Amino acid sequence: MVKFVSVQNIVDLIQANGLEPFLQRLADYVEADFRRWGLFDKAPRVAAHSRDGVIELMPASDGNSYSFKYVNGHPKNPLMGLQTVTAFGVLADVDTGYPQMLSEMTIATALRTAVTSALAAKYLARPDAETMAIIGLGAQSEFQALAFSALLGVKKLRVFDTDAEATAKFKTNVGWLDLDIAYAASTEEAVLGADIITTITADKQNATILSDNMVGAGVHINAVGGDCPGKTELQRDILLRGDVFVEFPEQTRIEGEIQQMEPDFPVTELWQVITGQAAGRKSRDQITIFDSVGFAVEDFSTLRLVHDCIQGTPFYTDIDLIVAPDDPRNLFGLLAPVAGQGAGEGFHP
């Protein structure tokens, strides 16, 4: 049997653990996997592009377990009442190749994206950073606000979205969090005085959410929304002024902000900073940019945590996904007519 973790199961699991403690545990799992980066079998995700979006498969393996995530990105979906991003994932045993767990990953993706952003900022933002601007108040935004608050103590936010409904939704959702929030009338106003700028908008184009003149010395930019060919948020000049940190260069050069740059544009891999093999922030005035696109190892960590957490709980059901005949070679026997019932009459729709 394969363990199936539904959307409701994930919600119940997180509520049973507490949202902030769950985020903290996820942050520990993601950081632990970044620390053993070299062990992983890694590849850029496989993307199927269409006019309005993309569908992607994201595999990773540490040699013991294998995972993949199915995820889409369709910025026009909200106009039809649908999510921009949805996902599910599988964790499998490498020795047998058998899947162990099938899980929802739309909520899990929002959590792991926010946790990875906070992890990057822990190593790259100024240690005394206390104010973050968030540009784009869609489905991912509250997760970012919560992760930076819970994991880094960033309690002051300056936020902006072009859509008043998104802003109202954000306001309602973060009402119970211990945050000091300024609602700005423009991106320019939101980024004023911010130590960290998170861009998390959705538009299938090379947008200029942040232009060079908006970015002051010493700012850390958490650029999350540009994650697909032809879909970026930062003006190119910002990348020339700052130092860029990435998850997996082979994927980020295709999908991230640095798709705007030459193929040999210098970047530093986040795992190298986390393990002390490369420098993160070198001075107070340095502009650091985390060019986040979302990488399969982060999903692997998330599935690993969910799998560990559900053991002995009611937060999953067993599903009959894999055949199990008594004799493994007798697959056809599963289709053989039951003795005495003949071959059946056939299926007539």
* CA pair distance 82, 2, nearest whole angstrom: 28
Candidate list 85, 129, 154, 310; residue touching ligand NAD; CB under 6 A = 85
Q: Select from 3-11, 24-32, 202-210, 302-310 the region that touches ligand NAD (CB under 6 A).
A: 202-210
**Residues of span 122-181 touching ligand NAD by CB under 6 A:** 135-141, 160-163, 166
Return the number of other C-beta atoms located less than 10 Å from residue 234's C-beta: 29
Of 195, 227, 291, 299, catalytic: 227
- Active site annotation includes 163: no
Candidate list 224, 239, 246, 273; residue touching ligand NAD; CB under 6 A = 224
Show the binding pattern over residues 225-244: x = contacts ligand NAD (CB under 6 A), - = does not.
Answer: x-x-----------------
Residues near ligand NAD (CB under 6 A), total: 31
DSSP code per residue over 151-217: HH---EEEEE-S-HHHHHHHHHHTTTS--EEEE-SSHHHHHTT-SEEEE----SSEEEEE-GGG--T
In the three-class reduction of DSSP (H, G, I as helix; E, B as strand; rest coil), residue 269 is classed as: strand
In the three-class reduction of DSSP (H, G, I as helix; E, B as strand; rest coil), residue 297 is classed as: helix
- Longest Cα separation, the chain: 82
Angle between helices 19-35 and 106-124 (to 10 degrees): 70
Which residues are paired to 5 by β-bridges? 103
* CA pair distance 43, 63, nearest whole angstrom: 14
Question: Percent helix, strand and coil across the chain, each rounded to 5?
Answer: 35, 25, 40
Check binding of 73 to ligand NAD (CB under 6 A).
Answer: yes
Of residues 4 and 183, the one with the C-beta less far from ligand NAD: 183
Candidate list 59, 78, 216, 218; residue touching ligand NAD; CB under 6 A = 78
Q: Select from 42-50, 57-65, 222-230, 264-272 the region that touches ligand NAD (CB under 6 A).
A: 222-230
Show the binding pattern over residues 88-127: x = contacts ligand NAD (CB under 6 A), - = does not.
Answer: ---------------------x---x--------------
Catalytic residue ranges:
227
- Binding footprint of ligand NAD on the chain (CB under 6 A): 73, 75, 78, 84-85, 109, 113, 135-141, 160-163, 166, 187, 200-203, 209, 224-225, 227, 292-294
